[in-house]
Chains A and B, each alone.
Chain A
Amino acid sequence: MGVYKSLQFYLALLKTSIKASVSLRWNFIFEMFLMLFNNLIFFSMWWIFFLQFNDIAGWTFRDMAALMSIGTGAYGLRQICFGGVKSLARYIVSGGLDSFMTQPKNILIHIIGSKSLPNGWGQLLTSLLIVVLTGLTDLYTTSMIILGVICGCVVFASMAIISHSMAFWLGPVETLAQKYCDSLFLFALYPSNIYSDILRFMMFTVLPAGLISYLPVELVRKFSWLYLFGIVSGALFLGTISFAIFYLGLKRYESGNQVGIRA
């Protein structure tokens, strides 16, 4: 299946998934606002912190707002566009991949695009609100934030695919994958410039929160071709690696005996 056809298929799938998530209207609105509330709690804490201490290792409240905007926006976009990744480990362990494998489509794209989570819209709305409320609205800043959100979304999705794909080798590790993804999001929302050298290395490798937080915010502060290259190539690299790991693991997949169909 060619890249163009896969993309076409994914877009059609995404459209259907979003329609399905919006169809439960009240639930959609409720989850969206609950997520907005949740993010605003977190944001308020940093606001209170910066009211007392003007900067943290050179980062001001404006930088923190850019970080929150990029982090929540990226995670929200992942929830909307790749919501199905949340169930990947369960599918692998319970034999749930069977119904996806019988269709002549890219399996991974089919799984991750098969669900769109309403709370992602709450995250995106938070991102937008922060941009507006903190005055990050000039053309350069906004475009860098959008770039950060898109690349961050790819990083979040890739790391989720990699951590859930560990189920091919380790068995039922859904809990661990979930905790890992949550932590990645949590650490991405801390100012990365406070980390020491070893931890900073970890923030670009084991827990690549630095690709979502440090580099995009530095780019918002001041343009650098090096940082731009770092963000884009990092996201593309992780995206490629995640696909490779999933398909490597798929060779170890043992079919289940569940009876079911997938439309």
Chain B
Amino acid sequence: MGFLAKYLAFFKMSILHHLRNYKLLIGLCIFQLTCLLIFAHIWKVAAARMGTIDLDPKLLLWYIALNEWILIAVPDIEIDMEYELKTGQLAYFLPRPISYLGSKLVEGVGALLLNMLVLGATAFLFVYFWTGALPLPPTSFIITVLMGILAGFLSLVFTMVVGISAFFVHEVEPWRWVWEKFLFVFGGLMLPLTIYPQWMQTIAHWTPFPAILGGRSGLIFNFELEAMLWILFSIMVWTSIGLIFLYTLYKRGLKMLNVEGG
């Protein structure tokens, strides 16, 4: 129980810390609505160009809101991790009776959940008043939102993988760019996945990106049990892979730090 209490304390601290910084949350909300409008327009033009104008613009707005929600809510935890690893602050964390990686993960989850709550409320209310209806029956919509929370966690894990790479590289920024580019392209944020050749769509299917963005949000166009279960399975598998990868990199990095110094 004491084991959990330590992490719970970090979780609470993270939420309180981010709540106190409410100006950032307001800024993120405004930013999210701006991106929502821009992407909605880009998609409208792309859809018209592709001849898929029959795509319901109201559903399209919901789709983009569900994507932007995850994308903006995931905290930039890799910046803090890079800073702590590069400046040697990690040395102060290591003697504590709590895992550095565990505390960072819990802190990240705290920030993620708070961001998701505030940004979700803003975006969904905005789109609801804009379109006048939910994209799905309430139960299905709640399931889609819950899957969004899991997808946010998956994205957070891989963001931490990017952050932990600071053990091995000088700057983590290029890795973050690569991760985001794949997310935008294979996640179907940049343009609809259907405009790409079939082989690219097949590749995308076997990556975590559609589960984080396009595939999951796409449930609002066609909410089927089979598709939902596949996305849930994909999220679970990729989260496990991400966590194992994260832990392995952390252990290797620590070993390197112990042998070679900071």
Contacts and interface: CB of A to CB of B under 8 A. Distances in A.
B12 interface: no
Interface string B169-190: 1110111011011101100001
A173 B181 contact: no
Interface residues of B, number: 39
A27 to B, nearest CB: 4
A154 to B, nearest CB: 21
Given A56-B49, A183-B35, A194 B42 contact: yes
B50 interface: yes
B24 A48 contact: no
B31 A34 contact: no
Chain A residues touching B, majority SS? helix
A173 B180 contact: no
Interface stretch (B71-79, B100-108, B126-134, B137-145): B71-79
A53 B49 contact: yes
Task: Among A37, A57, A175, A207, find the residue whose CB has the most chain B CB atoms closer than 10 A.
Answer: A175
B24 A52 contact: no
Contact of A176 (B28, B49, B50, B180): B28
Given A175-B75, A183-B35, A31 B182 contact: no
Interface stretch (A38-46, A61-69, A102-110, A135-143): A38-46
Interface string A86-113: 1000100000000000000000000000
Contacts of A57: 45
Report which residue of B27, B75, B180 has the largest number of chain A beta carbons within 10 angstroms of its beta carbon.
Answer: B27
Given A41-B182, A119-B174, A170 B23 contact: yes
Contacts, number: 101
A30 B21 CA distance: 36
Nearest to A30: B169
A173 B23 CA distance: 8
Interface in B4-59: 21, 23-24, 27-28, 31, 34-35, 37-38, 41-42, 45, 49-50
A119 B177 CA distance: 10
Interface of B: 21, 23-24, 27-28, 31, 34-35, 37-38, 41-42, 45, 49-50, 72, 75-76, 79, 83, 169-171, 173-175, 177-178, 180-182, 184-185, 190-191, 195-197, 200
